[in-house]
Structure 1
Amino acid sequence: MTPTFDKKIPEHYFRNHLLLPGLLFITIVSLIEWSHFDLTLSQFLFHLEGGVDSWPLRGAWLTETVIHKGGRNFVILLGLIIIGLLIASIKKVNLRPYRKGLIFIFLSVLSSVVLVRLGKSITDIDCPWNLKMFGGSADYHSLFSRVGDLNSPGQCFPAGHSSSGYAWVVLYFFALAYGKQYRWLGLSFGLGLGMTFGLAQQFRGAHFISHDLWSLAISWFSAALLYYVMFARSQSKSSPVIQSQDISALEN
């Protein structure tokens, strides 16, 4: 990819990357809450696995060893690659144009993981495997149904493992800055990784689907806002006059 730094019109950027995704997120989360789809899906998965008083796939080789532990190591490897490229950009001339983008990826992934970790530490939302209906000891409470329960095991919301995958939706924005034709490939990688991690955790009884959606939202909006600060805003300030061909390209 050649670093071209496509010009952005701020109002278009906010509409397409913040307003519309925000409305979609609120709609989906509201429907899940209203329909109790969290419980419906988890009960379906629990009985599908043949669960009686525990989740059969909680300690399974594929879900725990490969996807949970292996996935965590894979994400650590990705982070080390980004750090390695940043260090290499100090001396490698061909990497220097990408340094800002690499810093952007690092900060975005870090902020997504930290925000999710912070959310887990201040909420008392239970994992499915904590609940009485799935062999645990806690009562079920939806996200918006209470203020808090000091007796709850909690700290299962938002979903930590899937957030380490969804954090890589930042590659969509990286491509938006350096080569727009690759943005959907970057988005597919982040969504695919997060969904793989999230589904495995749902099969283990570690999270409800809404936990994963919140993690995706945190990752997306963290990347979108940071992109605006580091790229879109500075481009709009440095290019106050946008040529007609640029506007046509944006509309397409």
Structure 2
Amino acid sequence: MPDHPLPQAQPATAPHARPGTIPRRLLARTVLALIGSALAIAAVAQYTDLDLRLAALYYDPAHGNFPWDRSWFGRDFMHGYLKNVIVWFGFLLIGGALVDLVVPLRFAPLRRMQLRFLALAAALEPLLVRSLKESSNLHCPVAIDLYGGSQPLLRLLDPVPAGWHAGHCFPAGHASAGMWLSALAVLWLPQAPRQALAVFAGGLGVGLAMGWVQQMRGMHFLSHTLATAWISTTLLLALLLLFWKPLQAAAADVARPAGSRIGGCVPGAGR
């Protein structure tokens, strides 16, 4: 027998990761990507004519309007029916979360955390975008003299002239009605991050499509829609940082054998 006991194998742990926290490397990459994309959006809006070129594609100078603004698809379907369905879906989630908060429903702890996450995303994302839009000086394309309006073009970083009439058109409000759908990715967290990423991209795509139709109608520039996508993504990251530990705790409770659970739920999850 050896004089000293053999060293015991230590359980492998991911570098820079602690239980209950998002891996530092992933978080750092996400933050850097958000910073880089914010700078890119600002550069597109301020130093390129991409916004103007895309708007010109849908503007009819002979009639002085954006034909898609008069179409059933652009005005009634995309800006009406589709938006209303998504908005009422959000109200349903918010209402369900509020009811569960007052009179706990028969939800598993993980589903309860996910419902609260979705309710906050559905409420906060459009509210944040709307608040920023109401304080914005930028005008929509239809109001600018280049496209039949009466206001001169003001870029994102331009100084605001004295006596300027605020346009309240940045970021894109309509796109925000669809962008929050990217929060549905939480239904696959924390167990299936790849599927969650795909759902996040799909939800963001719905908002981008809604924003693009608004560009076709002359109601927004591309940079307006991209700014809304950035705000939505940043808000979801903040919510994920807030909810990550409760989500992991609830998921661990689901994986734990039924006989070992205390009261069948994570302490405090139903409060």
Q: TM-score range by the shorter chain?
A: 0.7 to 0.9
Q: Is 1:60 matched up with 2:66?
A: no
Kindly state the Cα deviation for residue 176 of structure 1 after the two structures are TM-superposed.
3.0
Letter in 2 for 1:140: L
Q: What SS is found at the alignment partner of 1:157?
A: coil
Q: Percent identity?
A: 25
Kindly state the Cα deviation for residue 182 of structure 1 after the two structures are TM-superposed.
2.2
Query: Which structure is higher in helix share?
Result: 1
Change (3 A) 1:12 1:175: farther
Structure 1 unaligned spans of 5+? 1-5, 240-252
Letter in 2 for 1:206: M
Distance 1:9 1:208 in 2: 35
Letter in 1 for 2:73: L
Of 215, 226, 230, the residue aligned with 2:243 is: 230
Q: What SS is found at the alignment partner of 1:177?
A: coil
Of 55, 75, 87, the residue aligned with 1:76 is: 87
Match of 1:37 in 2: 50
Of 206, 217, 238, the residue aligned with 1:193 is: 206
Match of 1:214 in 2: 227
How does the TM-score come out when normalised to structure 2? 0.75
**Greater RCO between the two (CA within 8 Å, min separation 6)?**
1
Q: Is 1:122 matched up with 2:135?
A: yes
Q: Deviations over 1:162-203 (max 9, x none)?
A: 011112222234433353242133213312210221111001
Letter in 1 for 2:170: F
Distance 2:34 2:115 in 1: 24
Distance 2:183 2:238 in 1: 11
Match of 2:14 in 1: none
Match of 2:29 in 1: 16
Match of 2:267 in 1: none
Kindly state the Cα deviation for residue 144 of structure 1 after the two structures are TM-superposed.
0.6
Q: Deviations over 1:17-62 (max 9, x none)?
A: 3222331332243134221211111112214xx6531212213110
Match of 1:163 in 2: 176
Q: What SS is found at the alignment partner of 2:66?
A: coil
Q: What SS is found at the alignment partner of 1:201?
A: helix
Q: What SS is found at the alignment partner of 1:93?
A: coil
Distance 2:211 2:62 in 1: 19
Match of 1:243 in 2: none
Of 146, 150, 154, the residue aligned with 1:137 is: 150
Distance 1:18 1:51 in 2: 46
Distance 2:92 2:247 in 1: 27
Give the conservation status (yes or no) of the 8 Å contact 2:184–2:203. Answer: yes
Distance 1:51 1:195 in 2: 29
Give the conservation status (yes or no) of the 8 Å contact 1:109–1:219. Answer: no
Distance 2:95 2:22 in 1: 33
Bigger CA radius of gyration = 2
Letter in 2 for 1:52: H
Structure 2 unaligned spans of 5+? 1-18, 253-271
Match of 2:119 in 1: 106
